[in-house]
Amino acid sequence: MTKTTLNIEGMMCPHCEKHMNEAIEKAFQVEKVSSSHSKNLTEIISEAPLDEARIKAAVAAAGYTLKGVSSEPCEQ
């Protein structure tokens, strides 16, 4: 399992969090995704590492700006 943390600019409210979560779920097969507009973060748990170019495209398509990506192995 991999935990991917996205630093996202532009989320302003819980509706934005839901919109971002849905964009990630549509673009990737994930176990879990959660976003926080107050922390400007989206955390994704997936079976395998995610492609950074596809992440950037999904975030941009949702109307937000990807400022950074970090990944680490995790136990779920």
pLDDT for the residue 61 = 95
pLDDT of residue 15: 97
Closest of 3, 8, 1 to residue 66, by C-alpha: 8
Residue 22 has pLDDT above 80, yes or no: yes
* Mean pLDDT value across the chain: 96
Portion of the chain with pLDDT greater than 70, in percent: 99
CATH number at 57 reads 3.30.70.100
Express each pLDDT in 37-58 by its tens digit: 999 999 999 999 999 999 999 9
The two three-digit tokens of residue 56, written as one number:
């950037």
DSSP 18: H
Domains contained in the chain, number: 1
Kindly report the number of other CB atoms within 10 A of residue 4's CB atom: 22
Domain that holds residue 48: 2-73
52: its two tokens: 């950074």
Query: Is 40 strand, coil or helix?
Result: coil
Q: Looking at residue 76, what is its pLDDT?
A: 58
* pTM tops 0.75: yes
